[in-house]
Structure 1
């Protein structure tokens, strides 16, 4: 059948994914963000419809295990809106979990990741992991090792939260150098938060996908650097490695709350990209690149599943 995108409603040929927000959140919770949870189904649906009305066709949700990803609700929203939605398995930094949860899950992470990717009525379509600030601690290495094992079992892409955009080369050294994950199965997130062109060019040259996200009130200083980063990558022949996403992490950032939200990618950013770098570039970044980044020739299948969680 060839590479397919594993959405919450089933596998879709990669060429049918369409215009994609490559990094976002419809649901999210963390003890680090008290009172800022994304847990309202109606609000999530309104945001998804607003993105569809702006021309969007797909959203990749990077919310991993234990952070309120709500796969059953994702499936219901995808069915109601006609949007392609991709869910994540994986695990974030240790600070986002209660100690009890970490102690219970860490020793069997690879097994849990593979199960999420291959079993149940609502399957994940990527593995989310996270680095630290300018480095990788023991937890990050443990989770990335489990993610690499799950990748080798399934073919799924690994999406990486880079803390403040740092540590990209350390991540590639571990995942690709030590653990044997092909670089083109790795998506490095938040690179706009550390706009170092040397790191960007090297990561792209090694074959990884580079995800730039926002805008964000917390990281708004990166917005004006975005075009410099994209122009540098495109000029060096790496346009095929670029992904763009909204990374909406709080209710206040949603479009219904007067934030930029998901629609900004297509109403604000895409016209500016088209004017600056051309329609072919914009289409590549929003359509062709996500289809390649998140597609897989899935190597593990299971006929029985577990409860959605």
Structure 2
């Protein structure tokens, strides 16, 4: 029977509720110096604001070694009433010091992912509920292939879903060829993030036809087509028969992007994106994208 693995334990998919399918409560990277998400009170306030806007769950895609603060997540979930799904996995090499990657050489990467999914993250007892990996710009480098191979091994061992950061929305076909082709991961167990940043309708349809979940995640930045092209892309996919493969997320990656610090933050997804999409494709589909679909995407037959 499928269950969503939250930081407070496994729940039925239908219990997840309105979900921000891709976001970050905590995140630290050498590529974002001085912009870390590393403040527990701010994270609590952001979750409370999301809850007040009607949110019930958040999938935090922050993977291993990027300051995900797994030990703090259960208390935050209890205090705010928002369910949290935590990630294992590994981001692009640029987000890590060389010695961190050296420690995870050989088969140790897949072993780490499996351990964090089944036994818990370090000594916290918090089990991850998804595997986060990342592609490169219009392709996959050796690091991406290695991390995705380890993610596929961990998926086959546990049943966990794999969430993929697509750099500026590109590289989707290469990810499909590797994960779903060569490595045998079923499309329905793969969540592709940021496709909305590179709104190629052919790539979108190919990914959806492979059974993958398409996460439209993150408010627009100056160089992204995220918001103004999103309704068109979602409508095209729905009209092509792929409305049941869609997710919505906020992807807050810096402190200044939090709503409690003056940015759009997690509530923006429900305050603005929900309304804008409903005008284009109808409220019924949008509510399924926020409610029913995340439970299906993150639910797994855990082994």
CA offsets 1:187-224 (integer angstroms, 9 cap, x no match):
00011110100100111011100011110435454321
Contact 2:3 2:11 in 1 (8 A): yes
- Measure, in 2, the Cα distance between the counterparts of 1:192 and 1:203: 12
Alignment of 1:31 with 2:35, yes or no, is no
Contact 2:196 2:225 in 1 (8 A): no
Length, aligned pairs only: 298
Q: Specify the SS of the correspondent of 1:106.
A: coil
Q: 1:257 is matched with which residue?
A: 261
Superposed, 1:44-55 pairs within 5 Å as 44-55=43-54
Q: Specify the SS of the correspondent of 2:244.
A: helix
- Please report how far the alpha carbon of residue 106 of structure 1 lies from its aligned counterpart in structure 2 after TM superposition: 3.2
Contact 2:63 2:91 in 1 (8 A): yes
Q: TM-score, normalised by structure 2?
A: 0.97
Q: Which has the larger displacement, 98-107 or 35-44?
A: 98-107
- Measure, in 2, the Cα distance between the counterparts of 1:185 and 1:218: 32
Given the superposition, is the C-alpha separation of residues 253 and 280 from structure 1 closer, same or farther in structure 2, using an over 3 Å criterion? same
Q: Which has the larger displacement, 271-280 or 240-249?
A: 271-280
Out of 154, 157, 180, the residue aligned to residue 153 of structure 1 is 157
Q: 1:304 is matched with which residue?
A: none
Q: 1:303 is matched with which residue?
A: none
Q: Say what the alpha-carbon RMSD is for the aligned residues.
A: 0.9
Q: 1:237 is matched with which residue?
A: 241
Alignment of 1:183 with 2:182, yes or no, is no
Q: Specify the SS of the correspondent of 2:291.
A: helix
- Measure, in 2, the Cα distance between the counterparts of 1:18 and 1:220: 29
Q: 1:289 is matched with which residue?
A: 293
Q: 2:168 is matched with which residue?
A: 164
- Measure, in 1, the Cα distance between the counterparts of 2:183 and 2:225: 35
Contact 2:231 2:276 in 1 (8 A): no
Q: 2:41 is matched with which residue?
A: 42
Q: Specify the SS of the correspondent of 1:210.
A: strand
- Measure, in 2, the Cα distance between the counterparts of 1:30 and 1:167: 22
